[in-house]
Amino acid sequence: MQYTSLRHIQSALKSGETSVLGLVKDYLKNIEENVHLNAYVEVFSDEAMENAKTLDIKIKETPDSLGKLFGCIVSIKDLICYKNHYISAGSKILDGFESQFSATAVQAIVNEDAIIIGRTNCDEFGMGSANTNSYFGPVKNGADDTRISGGSSGGAAVSVQTNTCLIALGTDTGGSVRQPASFCGVVGYKPTYGMVSRHGLIAYASSFDQIGIIARQTEDIDCIMSIISVLDDYDSTMFQKALYKDESFKAKQLSDIKIAYIEEAFDNEVLDPLIKNEISNRLDSLQSEGVLVHKIQFPLLEYLVPCYYILTTAEASSNLSRYDGVRYGYRSPNAVTLDDMYVLSRTEGFGQEVKKRIMLGSFVLSEAYYEAYFTKAQQIRQMVIDHLILIFRDYDFIVMPTAPKVAWPLAEKPDDPLEIYMSDIYTVLANLAGIPAISIPLGNNIENMPFGIQLLGAAKEDKKLLWFAKKLNFAEHLI
């Protein structure tokens, strides 16, 4: 079985070439064959097969009542709620916790006959860039299982990479969908902030978090977006208008497109020369097709990572205060007093990276340092947004690498934690500014490790961004 797009799957189902049950069984077999990669925390085998059988009957007997996503098999990150199923955010602290409701995005795809096949492993509460911060152990890359998958949606990226589902729903606070997608040779997209409801997405940093999509084809991302971008009273930060479906966009000629690439991003010592080279070759060929490509300056680039980590840890320290051993999941059995119960439940329940970030966040919000760190970072965030508005007045898209290098070996543990934080240099911009961004596979290095190219668009111009990403089709020859 090698169906790489929903279009192919649906026509094969309609012609009787395959059945939904057959599809699900094939995916389950692939899950089993790749179990060593640790991409899934839980597989919903029986349930997925039951749902497949029901859908096969519907295809035969009442085809007019089929939802738009029949035949679409989806994995969901362990940070996205699915009613009556366990969810643990890659953490011990949510041990035994069951979702009381489905995330709005999950409900929307299920209503259209998508089938959820399992929940995927991730960094604890989405905090990480390598998927090595999960309570359930690291996720390994399907291209080389001695290497990391990327993170925090590592399981999601590997689930698509190894053909265990068609679509993965992940979350992206600072690159967690795009970076693992780049490391695994698949497409990863983060919508404009406010396009997709965050209801049912476990919060890490609420003003950054968005549900994102990983797929093999941009056209499938377009299809899923038109279904999950729905108004939702449960998320007050959502747009009330100009949601994905209503966005008016007419396809343009390539010769009408203007692209900017950021000088500081390319002339940066952290960037692998091969990736730099490959991107500039692609830009050259776009230019020869009539696209206008300009180099621009973005002097704020060096402030993005510090600004991101100050603001997200501040938000995280507040969001994670709800895990107190009383309401959700894990409660320490070793506590005698009430205070002990709070302290021990959190001490034993949270992993090291999460604790580090809660402490950092509490520090930057403390009375003595609030002005120096938190307020400053907020000011920089506003400057970034203002600067981008100016850029998007002149250009349709910004092009950047997705990550400075390919997936690194699992055994290679950087001594300096800042080194890992710095690897987010190209992805955090989209979340700081709330703009849409997509990583598309661009090539493989000499060791056959994939890397991607990143396109960023103006806020609310998601449709245009996906149109252009589809047009580029760099991915096609790799799939």
> Which of the residues are catalytic?
77, 152, 176
- Contact partners, residue 57, CB within 8 Å, separation at least 6: none
Q: Which range, of 120-128, 226-234, 435-443, 445-453, touches ligand GLN by CB under 6 A?
A: 120-128
DSSP 204: S
The residues in 248-277 that bind ligand GLN, with binding defined as CB under 6 A, are none
**What is the spatial distance between Cα 451 and Cα 213, in angstroms, rounded to a whole number?**
17
| Residue 424 contacts ligand GLN per CB under 6 A | yes
The size of the interface with ligand GLN (CB under 6 A), counted in residues, is 14
CA distances from 285 to 249, 251, 262, 289, 292 (A): 25, 20, 18, 6, 11
Q: Which range, of 50-58, 102-110, 168-176, 405-413, touches ligand GLN by CB under 6 A?
A: 168-176
**From the CB of 304, what's the least distance to ligand GLN, in Å?**
12
Task: Kindly write out the interface string for residues 438-457 of this chain, putting x where it contacts ligand GLN by CB under 6 A and - elsewhere.
Answer: --------------------
- Contact partners, residue 335, CB within 8 Å, separation at least 6: 325, 341, 343, 344, 345
Among 118, 174, 349, 436, binds ligand GLN (CB under 6 A): 174
Q: Which range, of 48-56, 167-175, 230-238, 240-248, touches ligand GLN by CB under 6 A?
A: 167-175
CA distances from 415 to 140, 306, 396, 419 (A): 21, 19, 40, 8
Among 51, 88, 102, 129, binds ligand GLN (CB under 6 A): 129
**140 and 147 in contact (C-beta within 8 Å)?**
yes
**What is the spatial distance between Cα 157 and Cα 390, in angstroms, rounded to a whole number?**
33
Among 172, 220, 315, 461, binds ligand GLN (CB under 6 A): 172
Label residue 329 left, alpha or beta by phi (over 0 means left) and psi (-120 to 50 means alpha): left
Q: Which range, of 30-38, 166-174, 192-200, 404-412, touches ligand GLN by CB under 6 A?
A: 166-174
CA angle 326, 328, 333 (to 5 degrees): 55
DSSP 63: G
Q: Which range, of 15-23, 169-177, 232-240, 399-407, touches ligand GLN by CB under 6 A?
A: 169-177
If the CB atoms of residues 19 and 317 are measured against ligand GLN, the closer one turns out to be: 317
If the CB atoms of residues 56 and 353 are measured against ligand GLN, the closer one turns out to be: 353
- Cα–Cα nearest to 191, from 243, 155, 151, 262: 243
**From the CB of 4, what's the least distance to ligand GLN, in Å?**
26
**From the CB of 350, what's the least distance to ligand GLN, in Å?**
15
**From the CB of 188, what's the least distance to ligand GLN, in Å?**
11
Antiparallel, parallel or unpaired: β 144-148 and 115-120:
unpaired
Task: Kindly write out the interface string for residues 310-339 of this chain, putting x where it contacts ligand GLN by CB under 6 A and - elsewhere.
Answer: --x---------------------------
DSSP 351: -
Among 128, 142, 349, 436, binds ligand GLN (CB under 6 A): 128
Among 91, 131, 173, 192, binds ligand GLN (CB under 6 A): 173
**From the CB of 351, what's the least distance to ligand GLN, in Å?**
13
**From the CB of 356, what's the least distance to ligand GLN, in Å?**
11
Among 132, 164, 176, 197, binds ligand GLN (CB under 6 A): 176
- Cα–Cα nearest to 19, from 3, 31, 41, 34: 3
> Which residues lie across from 450 on neighbouring strands?
444
**From the CB of 319, what's the least distance to ligand GLN, in Å?**
12
**311 and 319 in contact (C-beta within 8 Å)?**
no
| Kind plus residue range of the DSSP H or E element containing 75 | strand 73-77
- Contact partners, residue 376, CB within 8 Å, separation at least 6: 310
Reduce the DSSP state of residue 380 to 3 states and report it.
helix
If the CB atoms of residues 79 and 442 are measured against ligand GLN, the closer one turns out to be: 79
- Contact partners, residue 50, CB within 8 Å, separation at least 6: none
| Residue 210 contacts ligand GLN per CB under 6 A | no
If the CB atoms of residues 38 and 129 are measured against ligand GLN, the closer one turns out to be: 129
Question: Which residue's Cβ lies closest to ligand GLN?
Answer: 176
**What is the spatial distance between Cα 330 and Cα 335, in angstroms, rounded to a whole number?**
12
> Which residues lie across from 259 on neighbouring strands?
293, 397
Reduce the DSSP state of residue 269 to 3 states and report it.
coil
For the CA atoms of the chain, what is the radius of gyration?
Answer: 21
If the CB atoms of residues 55 and 360 are measured against ligand GLN, the closer one turns out to be: 360
Among 127, 148, 301, 432, binds ligand GLN (CB under 6 A): 127
| Residue 138 contacts ligand GLN per CB under 6 A | no
Among 34, 107, 121, 152, binds ligand GLN (CB under 6 A): 152
**What is the spatial distance between Cα 233 and Cα 166, in angstroms, rounded to a whole number?**
29
By CB under 6 A, name the binding residues for ligand GLN. 126-129, 152, 171-176, 204, 312, 424
